[in-house]
Amino acid sequence: MKPSAFAERGEKTWKEVEEALNELDGTRGIVPSASRLPTLFRQVCGDLSLAQYRMYGLVLCERINGLVIRGYGHLNRDRSDLMRALRQGVLEDFPLLVRHEWRLFWLMMACFWLPFWGIYLSSFHDVRWMTSLLGAEALDQLQQGYGEEGGFHEMRDNFGSNFEMFAFYIANNVGIDFRTFAGGILGGVGTLFFVVYNGLHFGAATGYVQQEADIDKFMEWISGHSSPEILGMIFSGMAGMRLGLALIRPGQRSRRHSLAKAANRAVKLLYAAAFLTTMAAVIEGFWSPLRLPVFLKYSFGCSLTLGLISWLLFAGKEERRAA
């Protein structure tokens, strides 16, 4: 193939790549025409190799090489930007936003922990309250995992692998978080209901195991993942309440504008909830089933809890404003 024929064949692709790169040079936002850039980039790299191998001339090779260099720079920048955004979100934006929304944080904490401790302490008076709240199926699962004859190590055999346990737990936790968040569309009432309900459910499970099963097995199992799991649910509740308050208290804005403004913070809180929920599922699926000394599991759980508290209290730069 002659150089002119080769150039004519590749001109359309090179032109498309050049236009996409020109748009990317002028913005750091979303460029629709750049969606095909990774595919086109591979094709241009192939054209460059072929042009150099067949010695189609310095001018043609330099043109294609320039596109390859620019394309590589943008593709590499996208990966760097993603990692930078993730790092900034975890280390700065999330804890700053939670501190900014401290009223919602403590409201959700109260809605969870007051029912939790109330129902848990009542188990010392009458355990039948726990059985009525949990139901027969949940009681059977608690006995299977934490009863005198049961053992949570055998729970892994029911799933077949740690990965299947991880998949089950992340689906379960995401379901809890989604219902908690989605309840905000009812003016926050649904969110409050689900947070209170989960506090009652977790407290009843703990109280039942305390009275009728082996609390040591239970604590060994939950010590690693309980703090990120509960915190993820709290963040989901904060996101739902932020939307709910925007609907019932729009202020001087229309409800549509108020909801749009609140959605920005709510989505960031959901990202934080997703981060913690994934962390909890990984720990519950891969760490909790391990046969390790109890003090090691407790040490891990305490260290993680203290780390999360420190993260919320001290991470991020105070001069940055949470959007």
Q: What is the pLDDT of residues 4-42, one digit of tens each?
A: 888 888 888 888 888 877 777 665 544 445 566 777 777
Q: Rounded distance, CA 111 to CA 200, Å?
A: 10
Q: Hey, what amino acid is at 159?
A: F
Helix 162-182 vs helix 255-282: crossing angle, to nearest 10:
160
Mean pLDDT in residue range 287-295: 81
Q: Which two tokens stand for residue 102?
A: 């401290």
Region at 135 (left for phi over 0; alpha for psi -120 to 50; beta for the rest)? left
Integer Cα distance of 108 and 10 in angstroms: 59
Q: How far is CA 94 from the centre of its chain?
A: 11
**Token digits of residue 37:** 């850039």
Residue 319 has pLDDT above 50, yes or no: no
The tens digit of pLDDT for each residue in 268-280 reads 888 888 888 888 8
What is the C-alpha R_g of the chain? 27
Mean pLDDT of 120-129: 82
Between CA 145 and CA 212 the distance in angstroms is 12
- Residue 223 DSSP symbol: T
pLDDT band (50, 70, 90) for residue 106: very high
- Per-residue confidence (pLDDT) for residue 322, from 0 to 100: 41
Assess whether pLDDT exceeds 70 at residue 84. Answer: no
102 residue type, one letter: W
Which residue reads 């804005």 in tokens?
A: 253
d(CA 265, CA 243): 9
**Position with higher pLDDT, 5 vs 109:** 109
Mean pLDDT of the chain: 78
Tell me the domain boundaries of the chain: 3-87, 101-314
